[in-house]
Structure formats: C-alpha cells, structure tokens
C-alpha cells in the first residue's frame, strides 16, 4: 500500500498543478491556488497516511490472508479515484466560483 500511496500522491500533485493551478491563472483567482495547496497539506496527506497505516499494521499472517484481498482492492480503487478525481473536482469548484 505504501507504494500506491506514494504514487497516488505524485499523481494527485501532478494533476493538481496542471489542472487546478492552470484554472486559477485562467480565472484570475490567485488565492485559490494557495487554498488548494492548503487543502493538499491539511486533508490529502493525512487521508493518505490513514490508507497506509491501515495496511502497514497488519501482521505477516494477515498480510497474506486472502480474506483481506477484497478490502485491499476496494481501498486501492478509492485511493486512485481520490487521487485522480479530487484535482478535477477542485478545478470545477474554482471555475464555478469564478463564475
């Protein structure tokens, strides 16, 4: 899970930079970029740490238990939906605020 969290954070940050900050320049809302950065630090990083902590605290026996596989896949899907979808949602929100 740690690798997925690290890559998801990189993907989120890349999309965030190109989509959200680009929208801020286009709409003239310069403070929006600062808000988005604060949102990244205040919400995204702790949320991703929860994903990682949940799976790194498993024992070796639990880590190979097939009963955990559906939950792991569900968490991975949610992680990637969040990493890819949230920057676009922020971009949409900022553009809507700009009117």
Q: What is the pLDDT of residues 51-92, one digit of tens each?
A: 788 888 888 888 888 998 999 999 999 999 998 998 888 878
List, as own/partner pairs, every contact residues 8-11 make where C-beta atoms lie below 8 angstroms and the sequence separation is at least 24, other chains included. Answer: 8/48, 8/79, 8/80, 8/82, 8/83, 9/44, 9/45, 9/48, 9/83, 11/80, 11/83, 11/84
25 or 50, higher pLDDT = 50
User: What is the rounded distance in angstroms from the CA atom of residue 6 to the CA atom of residue 62?
Assistant: 22
pLDDT number for residue 22? 74
The structure's pTM equals 0.78
Percent pLDDT > 70 in the chain is 89
């Amino acid at each position: 899970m740690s690798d997925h969290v690290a890559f998801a954070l990189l993907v989120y940050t890349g999309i965030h930079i190109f989509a959200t900050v680009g929208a801020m320049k286009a709409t003239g809302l310069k403070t929006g970029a600062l808000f988005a950065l604060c949102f990244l630090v205040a919400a995204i990083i702790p949320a991703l740490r929860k994903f990682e902590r949940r799976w790194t605290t498993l024992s070796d026996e639990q880590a190979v238990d097939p009963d955990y596989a559906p939950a792991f896949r569900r968490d991975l899907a949610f992680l990637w939906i969040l990493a890819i979808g949230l920057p676009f949602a922020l971009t949409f929100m900022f553009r809507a605020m700009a009117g």
